[in-house]
Amino acid sequence: MKSGVPGLDKMMQGGFPAGSIVLIAGESGAGKTTIGLQFLYSGATQFREAGMLISFEENKDSINKEMAAFGWNLEAAEKEKRIVVLEYPPQEVGHFMAQEVIIHDAIEEYGVKRVVIDSITTFALMYETEHKKREEVVKLVSKLKRWGCAVLLTSEVEEDKKGELRARFGLETVCDGVIYLYNERKNEVRARELEVYKMRGTAHEEKVVPMKFTSTGISL
């Protein structure tokens, strides 16, 4: 499935494997949400694949503004039933699990092929211990695989013992693909980069490539 991000599909032999669960991980401001929205909007407008955004962080007004900055018209896509947006504020994240059947019914009703969950970190915060957070995130990923959609999960990162950035809650092992976004300061310039760390079913490129924000979204 085409990502909609110029340069990214070439790194993965054409795109995301259909039905895969892919983690988009990086620090705050690295571009995780933007890549997710770009994946949904390009699917809806270029590839005739309906999408669903499940947001635990931003409300629809802020999402609209972010997408409009790149020339993406979310309101039109919603009216034409090409994108479905579900909002769960932090205090209502628990309702998400209780509404799994309703969400699955909506996926079937609208023919959704692409799903973005932003972010899995916020979802995990409703559980107290690290063990419980990991346990519930793993359960969620297992459920998502039954949806039959390509799902992108955004997540914050943390440093491992070697000082390298890694996904939280052991998500690297349970997701089909992992993409890391880097936003490092080099001298007086911020360098944005992307790495396809893992992508089952593809002979993906194993290198870190420059990434930039343009007037129409993210490009490699």
Find the mean pLDDT for residues 64-73.
95
pLDDT of residue 187: 76
Q: Which long-range contacts (CB under 8 A, 24 or more apart) does 61-69 make?
A: 63/37, 66/33, 66/34, 66/37, 67/37, 67/41
Is residue 83 scored above 80 in pLDDT?
A: yes
Give the global pTM.
0.94
Average pLDDT in the 92-113 region? Answer: 89
Residue 167 banded pLDDT, cuts 50, 70, 90? confident
> What pLDDT score was predicted for residue 97?
80
Domain 18-181, CATH: 3.40.50.300
Check residue 18 and give its pLDDT: 92
Model confidence band, residue 80 (pLDDT cutoffs 50, 70, 90): very high
Nearest to 174 by CA among 140, 126, 206: 140
Tokens for 213? 């924000």
| Mean pLDDT of the region 27-34 | 92
Surface-to-core class of residue 102, CB atoms within 10 Å of its CB (0-12 exposed, 13-18 middle, 19+ buried): exposed
110-118 mean pLDDT: 96
44 or 170, higher pLDDT: 44
Mean pLDDT, range 167-177, rounded to an integer: 90
Residue with the two structure tokens 């870190």: 208
Helix ranges restricted to H, 80-164: 93-98, 100-110, 120-124, 130-145
Residues 176-198 pLDDT 10s: 999 999 988 777 777 899 999 99
Predicted confidence band at 169 (pLDDT cuts at 50, 70, 90)? Answer: confident
Instruction: Enter the DSSP assignment of 132.
Output: H
- What pLDDT score does 57 carry? 85
Query: Mean per-residue pLDDT for 111-122?
Result: 94
Ramachandran region of residue 194, left (φ > 0), alpha (ψ -120 to 50) or beta? beta
Neighbours of 86 (CB within 10 A): 17
| For residue 45, pLDDT beyond 90 | yes
Q: Where are the domains of the chain?
A: 18-181
Structure confidence by residue, pLDDT tens digits, 206-220: 999 999 999 999 999
Helix then strand then coil, % of the chain, to nearest 5: 35, 30, 35
